[in-house]
Amino acid sequence: MPAASAIVTVGLNPAIDRVLEVEGFTIGAHQQGKEVFRMPAGKSLNVSRALALLGVHNTATGFLGKDNHEEFSLMLEELNIVDEFFLLPGRTRENVTITDPVTRQETHIRQRGLHVDELHRQRLQRKLQFLSRPDAIIVFSGSLPPGISSEEFAAMVDMCVAGGAKVAVDSSGSAIREVWARKLWLVKPNHQELSDLAGRPLDNEQQELVAARELADHIEVVLLTKGSAGALMFSGGMEFRGHVDLDESLVKNTVGCGDAMLAAFIAGVRQQLPIEKAFARAIACATASACTLSPADFDPAFAGELEQRLVVERIN
């Protein structure tokens, strides 16, 4: 097994993602559908996969179910991602997305996940303490599983920050609310998550800017994702807006686009690109991901083409 890398993704509640396509999907009806894909995923693993596609070595840790760990280990081995997961009794949860090609709507069904006991939580804490060092980027992505409170999650984040690591958080609900006031390296909210953090509706971009600037006062990088409208970035007093025009007919699946964006930005930072260049590459990879069926999957060459067409402008 290769040595642990300095980029670590932490998946506390990974999943197997299953996408079904059902024309004219109707709740309560008996309908035929076809399986588009079924694959190991969850936000943290999506980030690891996208990093691997960009040629960036990384370590994945967190919790998986022992009964279906092989499905994950095969993927990790194939992509040369270091597997440092702790195994829990049972099966990793399975999430289902139902897509309707007629209405272009998506319905997401999420399981809660396996319960994490105190022993396994402490083992992960010790692992993170070992991995946290000044040259490390540690990415906490996804939801909290049963057994880990938002306060315990915050303690993990604090420990990594204390070890000198750059800590990125892409979560929602109580997890992100517990840590957003800390001096993190990066957070990546979407519009709804930013609104939740601000504690008020954000009805236009000016209100978004105000709320994002509040985060940027103490967080080094804020990436605000805006779906087909692109993204905003706030860092070091600089603010950027970026988007790329894309034929809507090319869009196949938006699940995992934000994870591809986060991975590409981290890859750009690791490669010491100027921050606006890393931001542009992140948007290009996220857009390319929307043009594939599987989450956080993209053709790097196509992403490169999109990057050439990308418009990034300074806001302030």
Two tokens, residue 256 = 């995992």
CATH number, residue 263: 3.40.1190.20
**pLDDT, tens digit, for every residue of 194-204?**
999 999 999 99
Mean confidence (pLDDT) of the chain: 93
At residue 249, does pLDDT exceed 90?
Answer: no
Concatenated DSSP letters for 3-30? PPPSEEEEESS-EEEEEEE-TT--TT--
Q: Which helix (H) or strand (E) holds 155?
A: helix 150-162
Q: Is the pLDDT of residue 271 over 90?
A: yes
Collapse the DSSP code of 27 into the 3-class scheme (helix H, G, I; strand E, B; otherwise coil) and give the result. Answer: coil
Edge to edge, what strands does the sheet with 231-235 contain? 82-88, 59-65, 7-11, 137-141, 166-170, 186-187, 221-225, 231-235, 238-243, 311-314
**The pLDDT of residue 3:** 46
Residue 228's pLDDT band (cuts 50, 70, 90): confident
Q: What is the pLDDT of residue 71?
A: 95
Average pLDDT over residues 272-284: 96
Predicted confidence (pLDDT) per residue in 233-247, tens digit: 999 999 999 999 888
| Mean pLDDT of the region 62-87 | 97
- Of 89, 115, 56, give the one whose Cα is nearest residue 281: 56
Per 3-state DSSP, the chain is made up of helix, strand and coil in percentages (nearest 5) of: 40, 25, 35
Classified as helix, coil or strand, 256 is coil
Report pLDDT for 62.
Answer: 98
Query: Does residue 104 lie in a domain region?
Result: no
Number of domains in the chain: 1
On the question of pLDDT at 19 being above 70, the answer is yes
Confirm whether 230 is domain-assigned: yes
Asked if pLDDT for residue 173 goes beyond 50, the answer is yes
Residue 27 lies in a domain: no
Pairing state between β 137-141 and 7-11: parallel
Distance CA 247, CA 306 (A): 12
CA distance 38 to 109: 14
| Mean pLDDT for the stretch of residues 285-307 | 93
How large a percentage of the chain has pLDDT more than 70? 98
Residue 1's pLDDT is: 39
In a domain, 266, yes or no: yes
Q: Is residue 251 part of a domain?
A: yes
Residue 185, domain member (yes or no): yes
Which residue range(s) make up the domain with 281?
7-12+41-92+117-314
Beta bridge partners of 15: 41
Are 2 and 82 within 8 A, CB to CB?
A: yes
Mean per-residue pLDDT, 14-43: 93
Q: Domain for residue 85, yes or no?
A: yes
Torsional class of 104: left (φ above 0), alpha (ψ -120 to 50), beta (otherwise): left
Total length of the chain: 316
**The pLDDT value given to residue 17:** 92
With cut-offs at 50, 70 and 90, classify the pLDDT of residue 5.
low
Spatial CA neighbour of 297 closest among 254, 245, 267: 254
- The answer to whether residue 146 sits within a structural domain is yes
